[in-house]
């Protein structure tokens, strides 16, 4: 039976990102993907939000996406208030408009440069796990043996169901069709609301139009057709604008659910397999990519026996609350999109509150993923938050912090006396670098924070320890996150 250290079910954005993280950590990883190629049959994400672009920047591949997308400074809205983060302390203070088809193609191109095995055109149909590994069953009758199986197989995850992991949440309140179409007429562009929800028409890059329109009934299971789309458009806009043909038509709902546990033994969940919600706010793809970046280095260290299995518990502990917040955000967005008198009253009050600068920043940071804070205990505000991409000066010249993270390895950044911190016992795992930084330390929403003398940065870009002129707590943090010190 073919063996891999890790098998990933599903090669969508989450599975691809996780495979890249594991391959960078030199772990033998394979993806099993149902689709024969990377093309998507339906229209899905239309862009990348700030923290996701930062995460890709941490791996040195953000430029590939930036080269093909379009920078948008004001995107979407919350309670009718346009959201933008131009004034935020990040290099990527915008949204990158780029459709999921392109995002997946670029991700797959990157993964293709790394040592990742991909079994295409087959499904994971089930698995059996024991104390030392997992036997993964495939639809072609073959099996794969792995130490760990990660279900990145989307909202209807076979892995989640076979693992018996509960998926509590809320049934849909709305159902919509989303399509990419050609129209002979001049459609009225933009978003409109009525008492059930939102309908919108926007231009695509090639003269076609993207359409989202709500359905009158919930629970329809038949494949939507051009006639269905035309009928719905006529019902809400009085015309179908000469709707001629569609490259894709599909249905989505605001079903909102989250896996009760992101891990059972040697089986883990990430991305839509762990959480589903309305696409409003564009939160899904980025949340999955960031799940992968939180899990990848931890799983690599456990597979390499550098860290105990209990490190994997921090994946659920850190990412489940983030997922729960995303669900809350999207439920609020869905509720606020309705146009009845009571919701209008609520929207106006929230819009008024969002005219307060701090309130707007809080909501915008939440949507952009720039406020994520893992609970790593009391201490400096940086602890558990994303490391800013500072411009450093080193003995070898200027250097950006995120360049230090390209190899997905931990970094100890010493900004105090050169050579003042001793990490020799972790030298095989942690890259130590002396540098100077004289600029401001500014975090999204929190603003200016005290300059630390050193920071220990995890491979996912979150800060695991903050120095205050001493090395108090450093050895403990290194051991907790990156394993026991070398005895030699
Ligand atoms: C209409 C719509 C609009 C959206 N808009 C946005 C947006 O603007 N921004 C945003 O961030 N997100 C958006 N999303 C959400 C986004 O598309 C998902 O969150 C994202 O695709 C999740 O990635 P994933 O890899 O976790 O799952 P998926 O993309 O669902 O990938 C799962 C993969 O697993 C494969 N697979 C499934 N079952 C098996 C199996 N048993 N064996 C092997 N392979 C399997 C599938 O073929 C697929 O490739 C939108 C979604 C929809 C439906």
Q: Is the pLDDT of residue 338 over 90?
A: no
Pairing of strands 431-434, 411-414: parallel
- pLDDT tens profile 281-323: 999 999 999 999 999 999 999 999 999 999 999 999 999 999 9
What Rg do the C-alpha atoms of the chain give, in angstroms? Answer: 23
Which residue's CA is minimally distant from atom 15 of ligand 1? 284
Q: Is the pLDDT of residue 42 over 90?
A: no
For residues 141-158, give the mean pLDDT: 98
- Ligand 1 pocket, residue 368 CB under 6 Å: no
Which residue's CA is minimally distant from atom 48 of ligand 1? 12
Q: Give the chain's mean pLDDT.
A: 95
pLDDT (0 to 100) of residue 340: 86
Q: Which numbered atom of ligand 1 lies nearest the CA of 276? A: 19
- Ligand 1 pocket, residue 32 CB under 6 Å: yes
Which residue's CA is minimally distant from atom 2 of ligand 1? 44
- Ligand 1 pocket, residue 452 CB under 6 Å: no
Pocket-testing residue among 119, 154, 369, ligand 1, by greatest number of atoms within 8 A of Cβ: 154
pLDDT (0 to 100) of residue 194: 75
154 CA → ligand 1 middle, Å: 5
- Ligand 1 pocket, residue 330 CB under 6 Å: no
Q: Which numbered atom of ligand 1 lies nearest the CA of 176? A: 1
- Ligand 1 pocket, residue 152 CB under 6 Å: yes
Confidence of residue 433 (pLDDT cuts 50, 70, 90): very high
Q: Are the C-beta atoms of residues 83 and 363 closer than 8 Å to each other?
A: yes
- pLDDT tens profile 400-412: 999 999 999 999 9
Q: Is the pLDDT of residue 205 over 80?
A: no
DSSP string, 29-64: EEEEESSSSS--SS----EE-HHHHHHHHHTT-HHH
29 CA → ligand 1 middle, Å: 20
Distances (CA, A) of 78 to 35, 248, 348, 371: 35, 28, 11, 17
Confidence of residue 488 (pLDDT cuts 50, 70, 90): low
For residues 426-440, give the mean pLDDT: 96
What the block records as the tokens of 8 is 């990933």
Find the largest Cα–Cα distance for the chain: 77
- Ligand 1 pocket, residue 13 CB under 6 Å: yes
Q: Is the pLDDT of residue 196 over 80?
A: no
Pairing of strands 143-151, 267-269: parallel
C-alpha triplet 270, 274, 279: angle, nearest 5°: 105
Compute the distance between CA of residue 98 and CA of residue 251 in angstroms, rounded to an integer.
20
pTM tops 0.85 = yes
- Ligand 1 pocket, residue 50 CB under 6 Å: no
Q: Is the pLDDT of residue 444 over 80?
A: yes
- Ligand 1 pocket, residue 137 CB under 6 Å: no
Compute the distance between CA of residue 159 and CA of residue 136 in angstroms, rounded to an integer.
10
- pLDDT tens profile 451-465: 999 999 999 999 999
pLDDT (0 to 100) of residue 219: 85
- Ligand 1 pocket, residue 256 CB under 6 Å: no
- Ligand 1 pocket, residue 8 CB under 6 Å: no
Q: Which numbered atom of ligand 1 lies nearest the CA of 32? A: 43
- Ligand 1 pocket, residue 307 CB under 6 Å: no
pLDDT (0 to 100) of residue 190: 84
- Ligand 1 pocket, residue 119 CB under 6 Å: no
8 CA → ligand 1 middle, Å: 14
Compute the distance between CA of residue 186 and CA of residue 188 in angstroms, rounded to an integer.
7
Confidence of residue 198 (pLDDT cuts 50, 70, 90): confident
Q: Is the pLDDT of residue 44 over 70?
A: yes
Cβ neighbours of residue 142 closer than 8 Å, sequence gap 6 or more = 2, 122
pLDDT (0 to 100) of residue 221: 85
12 CA → ligand 1 middle, Å: 6
For residues 161-183, give the mean pLDDT: 95
């Amino acid at each position: 039976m073919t063996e891999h250290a890790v098998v990933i079910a599903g090669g969508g954005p989450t599975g691809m990102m996780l495979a890249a993280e594991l391959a960078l950590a030199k772990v033998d990883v394979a993806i099993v993907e149902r689709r024969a190629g990377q093309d998507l049959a339906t229209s899905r994400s239309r862009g990348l939000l700030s923290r996701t672009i930062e995460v890709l920047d941490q791996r040195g591949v953000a430029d590939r996406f930036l080269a093909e997308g379009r920078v948008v400074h004001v995107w979407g809205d919350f309670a009718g208030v346009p959201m933008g983060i131009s004034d935020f302390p990040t290099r990527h203070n915008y949204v990158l408009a780029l459709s999921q088809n392109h995002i997946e193609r670029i991700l797959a191109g990157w993964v293709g440069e790394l040592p990742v095995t991909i079994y295409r055109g087959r499904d994971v149909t089930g698995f059996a796990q024991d104390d030392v590994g997992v036997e993964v069953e495939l639809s072609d009758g073959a099996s794969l043996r792995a130490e760990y199986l990660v279900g990145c197989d989307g909202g209807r995850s076979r892995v989640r169901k076979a693992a018996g992991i509960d998926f509590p949440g809320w049934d849909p309140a709305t159902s919509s069709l989303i399509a990419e179409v050609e129209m002979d007429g001049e459609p009225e562009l933009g978003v409109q609301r009525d008492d059930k929800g939102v309908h919108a028409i926007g231009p695509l890059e090639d003269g076609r139009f993207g359409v989202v329109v709500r359905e009158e009934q919930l629970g329809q299971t038949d494949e939507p057709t051009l006639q269905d789309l035309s009928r719905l458009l006529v019902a809400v806009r009085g015309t179908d604008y000469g709707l001629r043909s569609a490259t894709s038509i599909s249905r989505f709902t605001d079903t909102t659910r989250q896996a009760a546990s992101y891990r059972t033994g040697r089986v883990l969940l990430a991305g839509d397999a762990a959480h589903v919600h309305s696409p409003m706010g564009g939160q899904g793809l980025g949340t999955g990519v960031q799940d992968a970046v939180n899990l990848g280095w931890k799983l690599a260290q456990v597979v390499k026996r550098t860290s105990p299995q209990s490190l994997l518990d921090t994946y659920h502990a850190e990412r489940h609350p983030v997922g729960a917040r995303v669900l809350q955000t999207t439920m609020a967005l869905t509720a606020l999109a309705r146009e009845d008198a009571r919701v209008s009253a609520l929207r106006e009050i929230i819009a008024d509150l969002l005219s307060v600068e701090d309130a707007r920043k809080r909501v915008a940071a939440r949507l952009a993923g720039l406020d994520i804070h893992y609970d790593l205990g009391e201490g400096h505000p940086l602890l558990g938050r994303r490391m800013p991409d500072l411009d450093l000066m080193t003995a070898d010249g200027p250097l950006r912090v995120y360049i230090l993270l390209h190899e997905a390895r931990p970094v100890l950044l010493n900004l105090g006396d050169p050579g003042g911190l001793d990490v020799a016992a972790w030298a095989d795992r942690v890259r130590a670098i002396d540098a100077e930084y004289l600029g401001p330390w500014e975090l999204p929403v929190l603003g200016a924070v005290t300059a630390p003398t050193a920071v220990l940065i995890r491979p996912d870009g979150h800060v695991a320890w903050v120095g205050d002129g001493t090395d108090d707590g450093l050895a403990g943090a290194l051991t907790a996150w990156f394993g026991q010190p070398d005895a030699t």
